[in-house]
Amino acid sequence: MASKLITLCTTSLLLLLLCSPSLANYSFSSIFNTPETICENTRFPHFCKSSLPHNKPGTIHDYAKISFQQSLSHAQRLPSTLYKSTILALEDCLFLAQENIDYLSYVMETLKSSADDALQGYQAEDLQTLLSATLTNQETCLDGLQYRSSSSSIKNALLVPISNGTMHYSVALALFTRGWAHSTMKGRYLTERKHVFSDLEDGASKGLPLMMSSKDKQIYDKVVVVDPYGSGKFRTITEAVAAAPNNTFASNGYYVIYVVAGVSNEYVSIPKSKKYLMMIGAGINQTVITGNRSVDDGWTTFNSATFAVLGQGFVAVNITFRNTAEAIKHQAVAVRSGADMSTFYKCSFEGYQDTLYTHSLRQFYRDCDIYGTIDYIFGNAAVVLQNCNIYSRLPLDNQFNTLTAQGRTDPNQNTGTSIQNCTIKAAKDLASSNSSTKTYLGRPWKEYSVTVIMQSFIDSVIDPAGWSAWSGEFALSTLYYAEFNNTGPGSNTTNRVQWPGYHVISGTEAANFTVSNFIAGGFWLPGTGVPYVGGLQ
C-alpha cells in the first residue's frame, strides 16, 4: 500500500505541474516574465516565487520546465512509511489521488486537442470544475489524516508534503483562471421544465418522459428491478449497479434501476465508471436505503456514507437515504455525492450531524427533504438546492444546529451552496420540545466558504444573527454568505452578523447563484427530465 500511495501522490502532483504550463500557455506562452509577474495572482505567491529562479526572465514554458524537475524532486522526497493505524484515512487518500490523476489527465487531453483560443464557455467551466475538485480531494485527504491518525510520525511524514501539493494545485487553478476568460452562460431559463414521472409496473415504464438518446429511444427499454423479496431481476441495489454498462455517454441514455418499496439495509457505492445511471424508488419513506456508519464507530466522515455516488450524470428519484446513527455518534453521512452533473429529485436525506455530503463537482437537488442537526448540508460542490424542505432536528444537550458548512478552500474554485425557494423549518422533534437550541443558516468550515440563501421561507427556528462563526475570527472576512429576498419570521436581516463577508444582495448578484449560471444547468438538466427553474423565481 505504501508504494502505491507514493506512486499515486507522485503522479498526481506531477500531472498537476504538467498541467499548469499548458493552462498558462493561452495568454503567456510567448511573453517573457519574471516570477513576480507569473506568481502575483496565485494564492501562494511566496511559494510560487521561491520555487522559480530570479536570475533571468523567461516564458511560461521556461518556468514550467523548472517546475517539472522540482515536482519530481518533491515527489521523490515523499515519505515511504505508512501505518495500519490509519488504514481508512489512507484508503481515502489513495482513492482521491486516483481521482485527481483522472481529472488532470482529462484536463491535459482537452487542452492538447484544442487550439489556442478554442475553448468554449462550457469547456472552460468543465475544466475549472475539475481543477476545483482536485483541491477538494486534497483537502479531504488532509482532513482524514488529521482526524483519524493516532501517530504523530504519520502526520509529520505526510501532512507537509501533501500540503505542498495543495499549493501546487492552487497555483495551477489560479493560472487557469487567469489564462482563460470564462464565457457567461447565456440563456436564463425562467420557466419550469414540467415533467411527470410515471409509475413503473413489472419493470417497464408507462411513459417516463426522459429521452435516452438523440434517436428518441424510450427510456423503458433499459429498466431493471431490484426487489429484495424476489420478484425483480436483482435482490440488491449493489448487484444492479454492478450489471450496469461502464463508461457510457449521455447519448446512450440512462440505465434505469427501479427499487421497489421496502427497506434496503445496504451500503451502496456508485463508482465513476457507472455513468448516466438513474435510480427510481416508489416514493419518500416507501423505498428506503439505510445504514448506520459513523465516525465514532471508526469510519472516516468520507466513508461513513450509506450511499456514495461518483458516476457522472447520476439521477435519483423517489428514494429515502438514511443514516440511523444517533446524534451521539457525531459525523454520520447519509449520502455523499462527488458525481458531476448529479441530480436528486423528490428524495429524502435523514441523519443528524453531516447528513448530506455535497463533496465536489456540480449537483442539483429538487423537491427534496433534508433532516439534520450540525453541518448537515456540507462539502465543496457547486450545488443548488431548489424547492427543498430543510428540517433542523433536536441535537444533543448544549449543541446548536447549523444547516450548512460549505468547504471552499481557494478563491478560484467555482464552488458553493445555493439554496433557492426552499423552506427552512424545525423538524417535529425540535418544534415540539422545550429546547433552547439555537439554529443557524451556516458556519464557515473552510476559509473561503460560500453559501447563498435566496427566495426561501425561513421560519422562526433560525436565530436572528443568522450565521455562526466556526472558530473565533476564522474566515469571517474571506467567506461569502448572502441572503436575497427571503420571507418568513426568520428572514429579517436587521440583527444579522456584521461580518465583512456577509451580504444582503441584489437580484443581479443573486442571479450568479442560479441553476443556469452557477452549475451550468441549462446544458445538462433538460436531459434528466427533472423540473427546474434556471433563473430567479
Cα(111)–Cα(105) distance, rounded to whole angstroms?
Answer: 10
Cα(227)–Cα(237) distance, rounded to whole angstroms?
Answer: 9
Cα(65)–Cα(357) distance, rounded to whole angstroms?
Answer: 38
* Torsion of Cα atoms, 445 then 450 then 456 then 462, to 10°: 30
Cα 321-135-173 angle, rounded to 5 deg: 135
Cα(371)–Cα(417) distance, rounded to whole angstroms?
Answer: 17
**Is 365 strand, coil or helix?**
strand
H or E segment to which residue 423 belongs: strand 423-426
Cα(44)–Cα(135) distance, rounded to whole angstroms?
Answer: 14
Cell of 24: 498558462
375 is catalytic: yes
Q: Which residues of 268-288 are buried (b: 16+ CB within 10 A; e: fewer)?
A: bbbebebbbbbbbbbbbeebb
Cα(47)–Cα(32) distance, rounded to whole angstroms?
Answer: 20
Q: Which one of the listed residues 126, 375, 459, 463 is annotated catalytic?
A: 375
Q: What share of the chain is helix, strand, coil (3-state, %, to 5)?
A: 35, 20, 45
Q: State the DSSP string of 437-498.
A: --EEEE--SSTT-EEEEES-EE-TTB-TT----SSTTTTTTT-EEEEES-BSTT---TT---
- The count of other CB atoms within 10 Å of the CB of residue 46 is 10
Given a contact cutoff of 8 angstroms between Cβ atoms, the answer to whether 151 and 85 are in contact is: yes
Known catalytic residues are: 375
